[in-house]
Every structure is written in structure tokens, then in C-alpha cells.
Amino acid sequence: MRCSIIVVMPYLFETDEHTQLRETARRFSQKHIAPHAHAWEEANEFPRELYREAAEAGLLGVSYPEDYGGAGGDITHALVASEEMVLAGRSVGTCVGLGSHGIALPPIVRLGSDEQKARFVTPVLRGEKISALAITEPWAGSDVARIRTKAVRDGSHYVVDGSKTFITSGCRADLVTVAVRTGGEGHGGISLLVVERGTEGFSVSKKLAKTGWWASDTAELSFEGCRVPVENLIGEENSGFLAIMLNFATERLFLAGQCVAIAELAYRESVSYARDRHAFGRSIMGHQVIRHKLADMVTKLAAARALVSECAVRHVRGEQVPGLAAMTKNAATDMCSFVVDQAVQIHGGSGYMREVLVERLYRDARLYPIGGGTREIMNEIIAKTEGY
């Protein structure tokens, strides 16, 4: 088999450490995820035990400080581990479910006290607890400053009332980092509270059915007179909005990396299918139109990958790059939507069938121009940072 430049090309930032991490993530995912990928996606769930297994392999702690049970490293390590898990595990839903702590924990790591980090971060990185981030509400998604879920101080507790929706891992999370309104209207009145499973007044009101990412659960959460101890406030009261925005910048880069991984998987599947499938007396790879489709797919993939690399390196250098992160997310989601669509086309009727991987990737990819900030909101950020 000939070598594809994309399939063998590591990110430019990669060191021997990243190579070893790739190997670990690949071995783990081939053994623990791939054999069950289709069944778990169809079942809309994967076993809870997988969190502990991933933690034992050192994968849940990637990019988290060693002081709190993390494996060290930075976003470049997280990108590499996530890419290999998607490529070798072949279940995007499982990977995003397993990775929901990637958005739930960073505000706690950034702003939490040592005691909060030991209570909330360590058990999640050990795979003992599951965490989720709850910002979106039925009436406020892109417009985070309009969230209504209220937290009113009552002695040593906050009393929380409201609801959240579209929350990844929300159905089985043991702790949820929740954006609440503790102050007046707008972005200045928002705080972050950790709400633990079992707290009276906190419940999962609905498990939501969705287009893709089937193996991960997505929930609607309800808070009714839910009493949360003040010790669970993360950072200063009314300072949550900035923490949410900082979280978004990293999440967007990470989502862009997932798009690259999904597209890479769809591309590999398509090359292999085009070699094996015959029509009109030759493999369909023998038709120039198919070869050109693949050439377009891999070219766009390489371009998006380069942007992810650029953005990651700047991020690690400590540069604030919200505009570049937004560009990277849009470039990667556009590329991924194109690649999975072409992959289905190359697979013909098979590409429309449930047991064929590219059919699932096509559905999984639809989330990326929506989640973590929509394509339109990314363009707003780009326009703002470009100064027009």
C-alpha cells in the first residue's frame, strides 16, 4: 500500500513524547474501543468502566497538572491523544463522552482552590467520577450573557433554579460545572458552581436523541430549589463569564482537532474503498473523478491540519488567539463537512448504510459547525478581532 502524506505526517510540533502518547492512545483504543464501537454507538452508551481504563492508561489526565492526578503536558498532547483515539477507536461518540471533562475541568483547574481541585479534579482524572459542563439553556446558547438559571445566596448555600440543555455526559455526570446567574443582567452577573449528583433539587429531566455522537449521552438538566454549598463556587462571584470565554478558545481548537481526526478517518476509509470497489472493468480509483475527489479531500485536510498546528503552538506559547481559534474551527469544520460528504459519495449506496463507518462519521460531523460556538458566531469573533 502506498503511503499517504497525511496518514504518516505528524503535527509539526510533535516530539518523541507525543509519538509515545500516540502509541499509547492507539493501543488503548484498538483494544478497548474499536471492537465495541458499532455496538456502543447503536446502544447510545458505552460502559462506565471505560473511564477507569482510560485513566489507568494515562489518557484522561493528558494536559492536566500532575499535582491533581494529571499526566502533565498541554493542548498539543491533548490533540494528539484525541486524534489517535478517534482514528483507532472508530467511535466519535465514545471519544467525546469520555472527554467531557475536557470542558468541565479547565475552569476548576484555572480558578479553583487547592481543596476544590483535590475534590473535583482528581477523582475525574482517576476515572472514578464523570464530569460535565452546563452553560447552554433552552433560551440561551450562542448568547451566553442571557442565561437565566439563578443562584441566590442563602446562608452557607446557593439556591439554584433553572434548566440547562444539550449537556454532553449530563445523564451520568457525578459533577457538573454549571453557569448560573448570581448577579444582575448581562455577562457581569454570571458565576460557575459545581453541582454534585445526588444534591436535592438537581435532576436529569431528559436524555436527548440526536443526529450523531450516539455513544455519548446528551441531557437536559433541571434545578429546582437545589441547595449547593458556597464552597462549590469556582473563582469569584460574578466572574464566570471570562472563565467561560477562556474555556471556549481551547475547546474550539480541540474541536478543530477532532474534525481533522474524523476527516482523516473518512479519507482513509475512502482510499481503501476506492481501491477495492470495481465498476466498469476497473477499480473506481481508476476513474479520474474519484482520484480528484480524494485529492481535494486530502488537500483540504492538510490545510486545516496546518492551521490546527499553528493555533496550538501559539496557544502553548501563551498568546491569546481567539480570532485564530475561531478561524481554525471554521476551517476545520468546513473541511470535515466536505470530506465526510465526499466519503459517503465515494462509498455509493454503502455510504448510506448504518453499518458502514462513513455513514456514521457523516452524522457525527454535523455537530461541529454548531457545538462550542456556531460557525456564524466564529465569524463574528473573526470580524471583531480583525477590527471591522
Ligand X SMILES: Cc1cc2nc3c(=O)[nH]c(=O)nc-3n(C[C@H](O)[C@H](O)[C@H](O)COP(=O)(O)OP(=O)(O)OC[C@H]3O[C@@H](n4cnc5c(N)ncnc54)[C@H](O)[C@@H]3O)c2cc1C
Would you say 234 or 346 has its CB closer to ligand X?
234
Residue 129 makes CB contacts below 8 A (sequence gap 6+) with 123, 174, 175
Q: Are strands 150-154 and 157-168 parallel, antiparallel or unpaired?
A: antiparallel
Instruction: Looking at residues 240 to 279 of the shown chain, list those that interact with ligand X (rule: CB under 6 A).
Output: none
Contact between residue 302 and residue 331 where contact means Cβ atoms under 8 Å apart = no
**Which value, to the nearest 10 degrees, does the dihedral of the CA atoms of residues 26, 29, 30, 36 take?**
-160
Cell numbers for 313: 503552538
Would you say 57 or 221 has its CB closer to ligand X?
221
Would you say 216 or 342 has its CB closer to ligand X?
216
Instruction: Looking at residues 355 to 384 of the shown chain, list those that interact with ligand X (rule: CB under 6 A).
Output: 367, 370-374, 376-377, 380
Nearest distance from C-beta of residue 276 to ligand X, angstroms: 33
Interacting residue with ligand X among 135, 195, 249, 263 (CB under 6 A): 135
Cell numbers for 9: 505526517
Would you say 195 or 367 has its CB closer to ligand X?
367
Would you say 255 or 301 has its CB closer to ligand X?
255
What is the C-alpha to C-alpha distance for residues 301 and 303, in angstroms, rounded to an integer? 5
Q: Are strands 131-134 and 175-181 parallel, antiparallel or unpaired?
A: parallel
Residue with cell 455510504: 351
- Ranges assigned E (strand) in the chain: 131-134, 150-154, 157-168, 175-181, 190-196, 202-207, 218-229, 233-234, 278-279, 282-283
Nearest distance from C-beta of residue 334 to ligand X, angstroms: 14
The reply to whether 166 sits near ligand X by the rule CB under 6 A is yes
The reply to whether 142 sits near ligand X by the rule CB under 6 A is yes
The reply to whether 136 sits near ligand X by the rule CB under 6 A is yes
The reply to whether 337 sits near ligand X by the rule CB under 6 A is no
Q: Is 233 helix (H, G, I), strand (E, B) or coil?
A: strand
Interacting residue with ligand X among 50, 95, 167, 176 (CB under 6 A): 167
Contact between residue 174 and residue 131 where contact means Cβ atoms under 8 Å apart = yes
Instruction: Looking at residues 105 to 134 of the shown chain, list those that interact with ligand X (rule: CB under 6 A).
Output: 132-134
The reply to whether 325 sits near ligand X by the rule CB under 6 A is no
Comparing CA positions, the residue from 99, 94, 81 lying closest to residue 35 is 94
Nearest distance from C-beta of residue 248 to ligand X, angstroms: 9
Comparing CA positions, the residue from 15, 194, 106, 153 lying closest to residue 372 is 106
Interacting residue with ligand X among 76, 177, 199, 218 (CB under 6 A): 218
Closest residue to bound ligand X by CB: 141
Would you say 108 or 134 has its CB closer to ligand X?
134
Nearest distance from C-beta of residue 67 to ligand X, angstroms: 26
Task: Work out the burial of residue 107: count CB atoms within 10 Å of its CB; fewer than 13 is exposed, 13-18 middle, 19 or more buried.
Answer: buried
Exactly one of 41, 45, 251, 264 is catalytic; which is it? 251
Contact between residue 316 and residue 75 where contact means Cβ atoms under 8 Å apart = yes
264 catalytic residue (yes or no)? no
Would you say 107 or 141 has its CB closer to ligand X?
141
Nearest distance from C-beta of residue 372 to ligand X, angstroms: 6
Interacting residue with ligand X among 69, 127, 141, 162 (CB under 6 A): 141
Q: How far is CA 5 from CA 81, 169, 194, 239, in A?
A: 20, 36, 45, 46
What is the C-alpha to C-alpha distance for residues 321 and 350, in angstroms, rounded to an integer? 41
Total residues at the site for ligand X (CB under 6 A)? Answer: 22
The reply to whether 168 sits near ligand X by the rule CB under 6 A is yes
Residues with active-site annotation: 251
Q: For binding to ligand X (CB under 6 A), which residues are involved?
A: 132-136, 141-142, 166-168, 210, 213, 218, 367, 370-374, 376-377, 380
